[in-house]
Amino acid sequence: MSGSWPWGVLIFLGAYHGLNPGMGWLFALSLGLQQRSRTAILRALIPIAIGHAVAVSLTLAAVGLVGAKLPHQALKFLVAGILFALGLYRISRSRHPRGAGMRVGFRDLAVWSFLMASAHGAGLMLAPVLLAHPMQGMHHAMDSATGSNLAEIAISVLALAVLVHTLSLILVAGATATLFYQFYERWGLGLLRHTWFNFDLLWALALMIAGLAALII
Amino acid sequence: MLWKADPTFYPSPKLAAQAPQEKLAYVAAFNPKGDGRPDALLVVDVDPSSSTYGQIVGRTNMPNAGDELHHFGWNACSSALCPYAAHPHLERRYLIVPGLRSSRIHILDTKEDPRQPKIVKVIEPEELARRTGYSRPHTIHCGPDGIYMSALGAPDGEGPGGIFALDHYTFEPLGQWEVERGKQYLGYDFAWHLGYDIAVTSEWGTPRMVESGVIPEELLAGKYGHSLHFFDLRKRRCIQTIDFGAEYQMVLELRPAHDPTKAYGFAGVVVSLKDLSSSIWLWFKNGDEWEAKKVIEIPAEPADAALLPPILKGFGAVPPLLTDLNLSVDDQRLYASCWGTGETLQYDVSDPHNPKLLGSIHLGGIVRKTPHPARPGEALNGGPQMVELSRDGKRVYFTNSLYAAWDQQFYPDGIDGWMVKVDVSPEGMTLDPKFFLEFGDLRGHQVRLEGGDASSDSYCYP
């Protein structure tokens, strides 16, 4: 089972994460507006991308480590279970990051992005893709009786997966923030007000869909 | 749970200023009689096209007597859209209504029937004290990451006053907010510049100094508050204190610019010991430092001692007693209430360093007792006090009571609670002759407008 579609899913999920205002584009936009500078948006996106990438990498590494000890089926159920639980939790209650603010530097933004991606289960949402399909041309001999195939994926492929995902995120987040910034120059923030919908709810559903995907693929 | 963000949340003050006209106003009203009947949150019809315009159309009694309802606020507002903690599924739905005297905090749900809010939770003073160490809760601001409240002091009636927060979802008190309060001891109002991660706090007096009326000896000794404190909103530490000097007694209302890219605001000082004048100060950021300067002085008016209450007889003058301020959402107009002289002043503050007086309306007052156009020839007691402004800046609402024990000192003949409305046009201010609401046995204090008003919301986008 190999093909290029897992890469497509990673790019799609990157774009999806990028569109979520809670993953950074909104923060970048507000910093741009506060400083009246488009470059401030781009400057903010770098630490946001780093924080996101670190959070996703750590989650996938953790899944990989657990996967090395568990049979593949058990790992699938575990990941699906966590995804469902997180999705339900995010529907029932959400929390605020404490100690955040608007005067933020590189480190603050990276930490904020890391916390947001971790708390929202951004990395976990990618796990089913890697669980199901080691990347094309890179998978080693598999023996699912002694451990999950995720553990078998080369570090370099995992790194590439995170990179591709993050690049996709940053392109979409950057484009979205820049679009709103351009729009603001002419018409103010009316577009933001009218297009703002509850992405958190959509996100919770996406977590559960990912849980389902972990079970069936 | 909403799919769309609450329509009353606006990312920027510019958009909020285009909000539709309010139809209901909420008024905190207290029973000054001490006859065992409770205070109430009143709902007033402010829709000019309605047959009950200017009348009370709903009322929620508090479960206990003697709370002295004073200030109150929404659980959530436009700050829920702030990028670092954006929570569009929060709703502007609950009113947080504390008793300033009882320290009991009531949570009222306005969603099901906005005209008949329901009490859904009560935080008892003992619990507040146990969780936060504070007592006498005052100002409420809906923040990006919680509901922030100021408190005048500690349960024993002394200081320090300060800030605590309630959880956005459960309304549980989260403990004392300050990590390091520096020189700050007295508390009253607080405000913030979300774009700068800065909170500002002002000073009245400890509960002991205010609850049985102003203590003339301590006032003349300059013991009431005369400083502003600046806190790092993220680190919760006091970073700077600006002392106006002991001459300037009681730094009360704080009105920061709504534009999050602007770092300035206005603070009202009730009385100067030198000449009984009131003053309005501008605080502003200059480089890395905060500065403050007096930009408006409102003089006392000479008066016949025979017409003055005992506390003022020796002075032969009525102090303006500037007790409330309000800044329009577009940061262009400042309204000041002179509760002593019975006057409301409108300033052009488009250049905050050089305010220009635009207009004035007299109503009530210790000596003048100016009547309302709805009741010509009928002397009014009390004066414009709490002032609230619609988001579009076109309608201003006033009530006339300050605080039971102080009402008694400055208006010893008693205060009949009223609420009035002023229409604002480019030509100036006019009292709406159709809007003169009498509260009967109660006295109205703070007014909050349905969907938000000029002092309820803060914004993270310009």
Average pLDDT over residues B300-305: 97
Average pLDDT over residues A135-161: 60
CB < 8 Å to A26, chain B: 83, 86
Contact A200 B88 (CB under 8 A): yes
Strand partners, B430: B423
Suggest the residue from B9, B194, B288, B461 to mutate for an interface test with chain A (most A CBs closer than 10 A): B461
Average pLDDT over residues B57-74: 98
Q: How confident is the model at residue A50 (pLDDT cuts 50, 70, 90)?
A: very high
Residues in chain A, overall count: 217
Cβ(B40)–Cβ(B62) below 8 Å: yes
Interchain contact A186–B (C-beta under 8 A) = no
**3-state SS assignment for residue B196:** helix
Quote the DSSP letter at residue B406.
H
Which residue type does A163 have?
L
Backbone angles phi, psi at A168, to 5 degrees: -60, -45
Lowest mean pLDDT among A124-138, A171-185, B42-56, B293-307: A124-138
Residue B33 has pLDDT above 50, yes or no: yes
CB-CB: which of B81, B233, B261 is closest to A101?
A: B233
Closest CA to A68 of A186, A155, A9: A155
Contact A96 B168 (CB under 8 A): yes
Contact B83 A192 (CB under 8 A): no
Take residue A69 and report the two structure tokens written for it. Answer: 């000890």
Backbone angles phi, psi at A2, to 5 degrees: -150, 160
Q: What are the tens digits of pLDDT across the range B231-261? A: 999 999 999 999 999 999 999 999 999 999 9
Average pLDDT over residues B73-87: 93
* Shortest Cα distance, chain B CAs vs residue A69, angstroms: 37
Write down the pTM of the prediction.
0.94
Backbone angles phi, psi at B332, to 5 degrees: -100, -30
Interchain contact A189–B (C-beta under 8 A) = yes
Q: Which helix (H) or strand (E) holds B428?
A: strand B428-438
Which residue, chain included where needed, has tokens 């929390």? A95
Task: Tell whether omega for the bond before B160 is within 30 degrees of 0, i.e. cis.
Answer: yes
Q: What are the tens digits of pLDDT across the range A38-47? A: 999 999 999 9
| Cα-based distances in Å from B208 to B181, B219, B252, B311, B321 | 21, 13, 17, 19, 21
Q: How confident is the model at residue B191 (pLDDT cuts 50, 70, 90)?
A: very high
Q: How confident is the model at residue A94 (pLDDT cuts 50, 70, 90)?
A: confident
Which residue type does A40 have?
A
- Residue B130: burial class (beta carbons within 10 Å; 0-12, 13-18, 19+): exposed
Q: Which helix (H) or strand (E) holds A5?
A: helix A5-19
Average pLDDT over residues B320-344: 98
Quote the DSSP letter at residue B84.
G
Take residue B53 and report the two structure tokens written for it. Answer: 């315009």
Tell me which residues of chain B have a C-beta less than 8 Å from any C-beta of chain A: 1-5, 10-12, 14-15, 81-89, 144-146, 168-169, 194-197, 233-235, 260-261, 460-462
Residue spans per domain, chain B: 13-449
Residue A143 has pLDDT above 70, yes or no: no
Cβ(A24)–Cβ(A173) below 8 Å: yes
Take residue B367 and report the two structure tokens written for it. Answer: 């000596």
CB < 8 Å to B168, chain A: 96
Contact A201 B145 (CB under 8 A): no
Q: What are the tens digits of pLDDT across the range A191-201? A: 888 888 888 88
Q: How confident is the model at residue A133 (pLDDT cuts 50, 70, 90)?
A: low
> What do you get for the CA distance between the two ends of chain B, in Å?
27
Range B13-449 has CATH code 2.130.10.10: yes
Strands B227-232 and B237-243 come out as antiparallel
Contact A30 B5 (CB under 8 A): no
Which residue, chain included where needed, has tokens 């201010």? B429
Q: Which pLDDT does position A155 carry in this prediction?
A: 82
**3-state SS assignment for residue B337:** strand
CB < 8 Å to B235, chain A: 99
Quote the DSSP letter at residue B5.
P
Of residues A183 and B121, the one with the higher pLDDT is B121
Average pLDDT over residues B72-78: 97
Q: Which helix (H) or strand (E) holds A81?
A: helix A72-92
Q: Which pLDDT does position A191 carry in this prediction?
A: 84
Residue spans per domain, chain A: 5-216
* Shortest Cα distance, chain B CAs vs residue A182, angstroms: 14
Contact B194 A30 (CB under 8 A): no
A125/B461 Cα distance (integer angstroms): 31
**3-state SS assignment for residue B349:** coil
**3-state SS assignment for residue A142:** coil
Which residue type does B202 have?
S
| Cα-based distances in Å from B404 to B134, B214, B446 | 21, 11, 14
Chain A residue nearest residue B13, CA to CA: A189
Average pLDDT over residues B430-441: 97
Residue A202 has pLDDT above 60, yes or no: yes
| Cα-based distances in Å from B360 to B296, B336, B429 | 14, 10, 7
Interchain contact A194–B (C-beta under 8 A) = no
Contact A104 B2 (CB under 8 A): no
B269/B282 Cα distance (integer angstroms): 11
Cβ(B255)–Cβ(B326) below 8 Å: yes
Contact B86 A104 (CB under 8 A): no
Q: How confident is the model at residue B47 (pLDDT cuts 50, 70, 90)?
A: very high
B330/B260 Cα distance (integer angstroms): 11
Residue A58 has pLDDT above 90, yes or no: yes
Closest CA to A120 of A145, A94, A143, A98: A94
Q: How confident is the model at residue B390 (pLDDT cuts 50, 70, 90)?
A: very high
> Which stretches does DSSP call E strand in B154-306?
162-166, 173-176, 190-193, 198-201, 227-232, 237-243, 248-256, 264-272, 278-286, 289-298, 301-302
* Shortest Cα distance, chain B CAs vs residue A173, angstroms: 13
Q: Which pLDDT does position A195 carry in this prediction?
A: 83
A110/A117 Cα distance (integer angstroms): 10
Cβ(B309)–Cβ(B410) below 8 Å: yes
- Across the A:B interface, residue pairs with CB atoms under 8 Å apart total 99
Q: What are the tens digits of pLDDT across the range A68-77? A: 888 888 999 9
* Shortest Cα distance, chain B CAs vs residue A38, angstroms: 15
Q: What are the tens digits of pLDDT across the range B150-181? A: 999 999 999 999 999 999 999 999 999 999 99
Residue A134 has pLDDT above 80, yes or no: no
* Shortest Cα distance, chain A CAs vs residue B92, angstroms: 15
Q: Which pLDDT does position B86 carry in this prediction?
A: 86
Q: What are the tens digits of pLDDT across the range A1-23? A: 356 888 999 999 999 999 999 99
Sign of CA dihedral B427, B387, B140, B251: positive
Contact A201 B3 (CB under 8 A): yes
CB < 8 Å to A91, chain B: 1
Q: Which pLDDT does position B275 carry in this prediction?
A: 97
Residue A144 has pLDDT above 80, yes or no: no
CB-CB: which of A26, A97, A198 is closest to B3?
A: A198
Strands B317-318 and B322-327 come out as unpaired
Average pLDDT over residues B346-360: 98
Count other C-beta atoms under 10 Å from residue B155's C-beta: 18
Closest CA to A171 of A53, A67, A15, A65: A15
HSE-CB of B393 using CA atoms within 13 angstroms:
22
Q: What is the mean pLDDT of chain B?
A: 97
Q: What are the tens digits of pLDDT across the range B102-127? A: 999 999 999 999 999 999 999 999 99
Closest CA to B252 of B204, B304, B206, B211: B204
Name the percent of chain A lying above pLDDT 70: 89
Q: Which pLDDT does position A90 carry in this prediction?
A: 86
Of residues A135 and B7, the one with the higher pLDDT is B7
B435/B234 Cα distance (integer angstroms): 43
Contact A196 B4 (CB under 8 A): yes
CB-CB: which of B2, B12, B85 is closest to A96?
A: B85
Contact A102 B197 (CB under 8 A): yes
Interchain contact A30–B (C-beta under 8 A) = yes
B361/B210 Cα distance (integer angstroms): 29
Cβ(B150)–Cβ(B161) below 8 Å: yes
Average pLDDT over residues B45-69: 98
CB-CB: which of B15, B144, B169 is closest to A193?
A: B15
Q: Which pLDDT does position A190 carry in this prediction?
A: 85
* Shortest Cα distance, chain B CAs vs residue A33, angstroms: 7
* Shortest Cα distance, chain B CAs vs residue A215, angstroms: 28
ipTM: 0.89
| Cα-based distances in Å from A76 to A129, B124, B162, B229 | 11, 48, 51, 55
* Shortest Cα distance, chain B CAs vs residue A120, angstroms: 13
